[in-house]
Structure 1
């Protein structure tokens, strides 16, 4: 985490006159952060940056992606009482939110692994403005794929691009941008998937297709000798409820906005022990 980010987050939480933390005697104390439920931990680096900025000595044996049990200690802290109180909610917010994402991601990856050793589970750009990179790194901690971090990472031709330009013109324009960027095309039919593959798309996203249609589209691509030339991604409305059906289709990537926007925060707590 950059110092400017830490300062921005702290400024938001402290405000201009912190009367809540400064009423306590500022003496050296020790504290622990522990989880109240089993989870995949994430956010340790972000919490560590907050502790470091506030002059708090933080020790942990854990790293993002580790599985922890209910009641397990995540951090042992030493520092001034005021600083630890100031760090408390901010650090817990990052740990709770990011661990929730990592935990849901790991559960989804485990579901997919029962049917495929190669299919990737990816997130999308449906993220919280300002903390996207942290949320996507939490997906990675859970064993998922981060997909694009932003619009500059790769070129995705979506339905509105096609409405404005058509698939052929959009792919041609995309190819002219740079040889280093992969081109992904969002399609809603097997016919458009075949067309995109023939025009040289690197990735084809099957958008909002039911699992049986995804399977049929893959068979059509294979029958035309196009299956091996493209990465095929299924996306749109996929959650834990229907994930198993998509995992059985044989797609290369299953992207899920729900990894982030439907994750539940993990309950953690900070307790001063001396």
Structure 2
């Protein structure tokens, strides 16, 4: 059984994460799709209609607050049959080779406004639900393997659409890692090469980020991870290690955090992160009791969309 809130509670809790500026962002999305005349809207007019939102593929429903706001701005109302985080199971008629569909919500409003919000809502819902579906699958894989750490999605998001993609990760039940460059200090190879050394980079970062911000250092070897820990890093990322080398290095680092070690081998306690080239197909090879975090760009890059459609009901 997954240790997560009920779907209804999840919907209420997660929508509280979203910023007050969300309405402004959605206004811009709608403006992008209608910068001048609405020719199709002229054709259908503003008669009140009901449109059905269908899901046509299996997946986790994610993006409800965004869809609600889109249609709210257009003077429409949305009544959901499912809650945020629910798994939508769509049966397929293999004999007829036709995909079935399930009714997820009903949207009521002027016909021209329903169609104005249609594509913006469907694009958003498809992408957000796709990310949530992959995130849920990865989370379940970790639970089944007995992994006690967290799986996290990286900053490899679409510019201007990060809020939706990061939100989808949360619905799926995984960690967001960094939301942005101001969320945590991550010193990657370029930072270290530019400054000259790991200690210099960590010292400079700490001088401006203060005590309340974590510092993470990308490390190419166990020796670099030891140096980062001794320099004051909070998290060491073992980057692009093979699964076997990762487990050896993580085990060694964990053993060196034991205070009973001699002063030359002891390192301060740090979080150990695995990253680099990890995907849904390979993540099972990286689960390890000594790893605290597995971070992946695969959660947002190349993720399949979940297919939805909106159909106005015929008179």
Return the TM-score normalized by structure 2: 0.83
Give 1:93 shift.
0.5
Structure 1, residues 48-107: CA drift from partner, whole Å, max 9, x if none? 100100000111143332211213322211111111011111100110010000001111
Structure 1 residue aligned with 2:8: none
Q: Secondary structure at the match of 2:53?
A: strand
Matched, 1:53 2:85: no
Against the structure 1 CA distance between its residues 87 and 234, is the aligned structure 2 distance closer, same or farther, given a 3 Å change threshold? same
Partner Cα separation in structure 2 for residue 205 and residue 2 of structure 1: 33
Q: Secondary structure at the match of 1:247?
A: coil
Structure 2 residue aligned with 1:207: 239
Matched, 1:20 2:64: no
Number of aligned residues: 274
Would you say the 8 A contact 1:124–1:146 is kept in 2? yes
Against the structure 1 CA distance between its residues 257 and 227, is the aligned structure 2 distance closer, same or farther, given a 3 Å change threshold? farther
Structure 2 residue aligned with 1:69: 89
Give 1:3 shift.
2.5
Q: Secondary structure at the match of 1:23?
A: helix
Q: Secondary structure at the match of 2:40?
A: coil
Question: Which segments of structure 1 move beyond 4 Å, counting only runs of 4 or more?
Answer: none
Give 1:169 shift.
0.5
Would you say the 8 A contact 1:116–1:250 is kept in 2? no
Q: Secondary structure at the match of 1:140?
A: helix
Q: Secondary structure at the match of 1:223?
A: helix
Where does structure 1 lack aligned partners over 5 or more consecutive residues?
Answer: none
Matched, 1:147 2:210: no
Would you say the 8 A contact 1:231–1:252 is kept in 2? yes
Structure 1 residue aligned with 2:199: 168
Give 1:204 shift.
0.8
Partner Cα separation in structure 2 for residue 251 and residue 259 of structure 1: 19
Query: Residue 57 of structure 2 is aligned with which of 29, 34, 37?
Result: 37
Partner Cα separation in structure 2 for residue 182 and residue 61 of structure 1: 41
Would you say the 8 A contact 2:59–2:89 is kept in 1? yes
Structure 1, residues 27-64: CA drift from partner, whole Å, max 9, x if none? 11111101001111111111110010000011114333
Query: Residue 116 of structure 1 is aligned with which of 124, 130, 146?
Result: 146
Q: Secondary structure at the match of 2:203?
A: helix
